Amino acid sequence: MADLLPQLAIALPAAGGLDPRALFAEAAALPKDAPIWLEIGFGSGEHLAWQAERNPAVGFLGSEVFENGVARLLGHVAAQGLANIRVFPDDARLLLDALAPASLDRVFLLFPDPWPKARHAARRFVSGANLDRLALLLRPGSELRMASDDPGQVRWMLEQTSRHPAFVWLAEGPRDWRERPADWPATRYEEKALAEGRAGSFLRFRRV
């Protein structure tokens, strides 16, 4: 971790918008106009690494505040030889505020802390302010993917995001949110939830 993290860590600029493609300038295999995908709170990093391995022409940003999660992701990066991941080991909101407008092509928010108690609802990541941030950063036509195994959190995500004018829910029937798409692998947390009898819901929104 001490050797690899400094090579992959995202340094925020003192001022001005950060073009995420500039973070991959030394990754010769990545096109200059490569799509950029961001995972907020990547946990142990298995989803992020899976996506990066199967989408080598995409640049991936991952944000995670917990050191153990960052260390696990770096283990995946080293083991799989991934050159298209950059890491922000801090609060994702700091990164969102630094990125240039319309610089992201997909965002993942998978199984975030549901903060189930009513008095803690304000701590949930999905909020009007954060959706405003994401609306500014996502290109028109890009995708926001969210998942949770907590029914209250799922309702909250749907209510908050569906009422936001920049996003439209892509589900056309129950299977669209009850089943993961083929390009959406299970996370370690999801597998634990399933073992405990909690099924996940998978929500996809388009930036309009």
What is the third-level CATH fold of 5-207? Rossmann fold (3.40.50)
* One-character DSSP codes across 127-196: SHHHHHHHHHHEEEEEEEEEEES-HHHHHHHHHHHHTSTTEEE--SSTHHHHS--TT-PPPHHHHHHHHT
What mean pLDDT, rounded, does the chain reach?
A: 93
> Is residue 75 scored above 90 in pLDDT?
yes
Query: 1 falls in which pLDDT band (50, 70, 90)?
Result: low
Contact of 101 with 136, CB cutoff 8 Å: yes
Task: Please tell me whether residue 13 adopts helix, strand or coil conformation.
Answer: coil
Q: Any catalytic annotation for residue 113?
A: yes
Q: Read off the pLDDT of each residue in 75-96 and give the average, rounded to a whole number.
A: 96
Name the active-site residue from 113, 150, 176, 183. 113
